[in-house]
Chains A and B, each alone.
Chain A
Amino acid sequence: MTSSVRRAAELGRVLAAAAALAGAVAALAGAVAVFSVDAHEPAAGAAPLMDFVPPPAGSYPLHAIMRAPDGAVLDLDGRRQPLRHFTSGKITLLGFMYASCSDPHGCPLAYQVFHTVRHRVATRPELRDRVRLVSLSFDPARDTPSAMRSYMAGVAPAAVEWAFLTTESPRALVPLLDGFGQDVRVAADGGGRPLGPLAHVLKVFLIDARGTVREIYTTSYLYPEVILNDIQTLHLQSATERTMR
């Protein structure tokens, strides 16, 4: 066995064990309030404190940060599709996640915020057909299409599209991670040996209808009110552009 194969096998075993442990933590903590339906907004939970009134939609610019990367993803039916089908044509809110994540400031927080945003967008007729949410797994080994289907089972049908996607393999995933600048780490011991579950900086990407990232949110700034204002800002801008054409 070559050293690289041994390392791959070791990493695989560690990640599998980590997922099991994280799942156990989630079960023990009962950390699944996030799977509430859309009829009501979820409780604030681990959401960061917001002690300000955000500037009104349309009163500030949202600069072009980068193009959203493209690559092959799998939908819930296991069909291979280009990611660009889910990052263009509508204003898109995209976040990476993995189903066994139990960090209250990580995926569950993003899930909760996505629910809130979706609920509020659904009440805005001018927005609901122009906005999409995307949850993309960075744990393809465990988050298969069928696992993702189970993950989103608690999501009520609503007027606002919410796509749950995964990839065929880490090889297909890595270009998307690198393209978005999304880190994924695994804790290691003093000798550099992997110890526990996957870790990542929670990032949520706001992408305009042309596929350009216009805002990035992390835990310290993941406020539904701000996100809604930003969506409205992009909508106002595109409406102005349509009028001028």
Chain B
Amino acid sequence: MRTHSRGRILVGAVIAALALAAIVPSPAGADETCNSPYMANLIKGQEDYLYVWALGVKGVGDGADKLVTIDVNPASKSYGKVIHKLSVGGGRGEAHHMGFTDDRRFLWAGGLDNSRISIFDVGSDPARPKLVKSLTDMAAKTGYVGPHTFYAMPGRMLVQGLSNAKDGGGVTGMALYSNKGELVATYPMPTTDGGDGYGYDIAIHPQKNVMLTSSFTGKKNYMRALGDLVKDAEAMKRFGNTMAIWDLKAMKPKKVLSVPGAPLEIRWSLKDGDTWAITATALTSKLWLVKPDAAGEWQAKEVAVIGDPAKIPLPVDISINKDGTGLWVNTFMDGKTRYFDLSNPEQPKQIYERATGKQVNMISQSWDGTRVYIASSLLANWDKGGADDEQFIRGFRWDGKELSPTFEVDFNKEKLGRAHHMKFGSKTMKAAYDLERTSRR
């Protein structure tokens, strides 16, 4: 073996330490910036790929849902271009959300209509994801349908259903799978002590042993044309109005919080020591704060309005920055992207807004907050019609004052379908023992 001088060893050690610092799991972190705290290998530098889970559109290509990979590294020759697309076949399944396993090697993605869960290998070749497994028996095995949130647990994936197989209503539950795709357990959403049984998002604060869930609506509503739905007063009553605090270790609900108007995405502050989470209510257009009071009792309270609630701007996705001081909020109906100063989470202040599309839904930001990505589609039957039915991924640079466009992929023009959820990929990690693994196959 080559002998190193002391100076070279020191340099090497520093390099190794830096490499380690870049790849160790963060004990308190979440993502870039909304992944499970159990997820390792957060991308804190430049992301290379944007994975987009796109809804199939009848008559467009094979009409099936697709995982689309976009090169988003500005240093790349194919920056801003689609470099890979992978159809899961079987027609439109209502592609919606995705989530990485704890080791970021696999990406789970769900269809809200067909309840199929597609598992992609994104670790072997991050530029070219492979479909390695499809779970098609969620409804039969659990009674729940509409797999929505995919939340990494150690060695497992917790999947939040939106509805049930019996009546298509909003009463649902969560299904826990091993990372190999075997069902481990099911957990019904609370229907007593104020619980409405509805589900939507999951977010965990490990150091408090707390899991927080939110609530949306059932399949009969989310698969219905939005124009019809809003005219049906009875149907409009069937939206979630609660969040639930769970004992994470025991997986038992501890308290139901009243949060009217369909509280959707949940984001914990990622700042060390913070114990608060924030959510946006879709129908009432409010920001709500969830935190313990002075007595340690978990409470939820309204802390801000988003746009003009009377006009129902329909807040959808939110994205919190890495230190919990700022929050992006997309509102679907007016196509606006808003930024709230969260320095005082009790009193969020909107400090910026701009129209980023005729309809906007998901929003993701890089770890450092300087790159922001926006997707257009909400649900196949809720997206707008005609010329307003833009389907895109748009990249922006955020300098703290202004969002500046950087690239756009037109999903209509490229016949990719409706652009929904986004996750980041990186080529900087590769599996060890690839040769041994390959030779076994």
Contacts and interface: CB of A to CB of B under 8 A. Distances in A.
A30 interface: no
B424 interface: no
A189 interface: yes
B252 interface: yes
Contact of B432 (A28, A186, A205): A186
Nearest to A186: B432
A203 B155 CA distance: 8
A132 to B, nearest CB: 20
Interface stretch (B158-166, B179-187, B413-421): B179-187
Contacts of A40: none
A184 B431 contact: yes
A217 B427 CA distance: 27
Contacts of A190: 427-428
A48 B247 contact: no
Interface residues of B, number: 60
Given A24-B16, A59-B250, A185 B429 contact: yes
Interface stretch (A74-82, A123-131, A152-160, A219-227): A219-227
A18 B251 CA distance: 41
Contacts of B440: 171, 174-175
Interface string A46-68: 10111110110001110111100
Contacts of A185: 23, 41, 429-432
A183 B206 contact: no
Interface string A164-202: 000001110111011001011111111010111111011
A215 B433 CA distance: 26
Interface in B141-187: 153-156, 176, 178-180, 182, 184-185
A146 interface: no
Interface string B1-43: 1001000011011011101101111011000000001101100
A37 B234 CA distance: 67
B430 A194 contact: yes
B432 A198 contact: yes
A45 to B, nearest CB: 12
Contacts of A22: 16, 20
Interface in B348-381: none
A137 to B, nearest CB: 13
B279 to A, nearest CB: 22
A174 B13 contact: no
A51 B208 contact: yes
A11 interface: yes
B302 interface: no
A221 B38 contact: yes
A21 B178 contact: no
Contact of B431 (A63, A183, A219): A183
A171 B1 CA distance: 24
Contacts of B180: 66, 181
Nearest to A29: B17
A203 B25 CA distance: 11
Nearest to A8: B435
B209 interface: yes
A196 B20 contact: yes
27 contacts: A20-B12, A24-B9, A25-B13, A52-B208, A59-B250, A60-B252, A65-B156, A65-B178, A66-B178, A66-B180, A105-B27, A171-B436, A171-B440, A178-B437, A181-B103, A181-B155, A181-B178, A183-B103, A185-B429, A185-B431, A186-B429, A197-B19, A198-B432, A205-B155, A218-B154, A220-B28, A220-B37
User: 3 tightest CB-CB pairs across the interface, nearest first?
Assistant: A216-B155, A196-B19, A21-B16
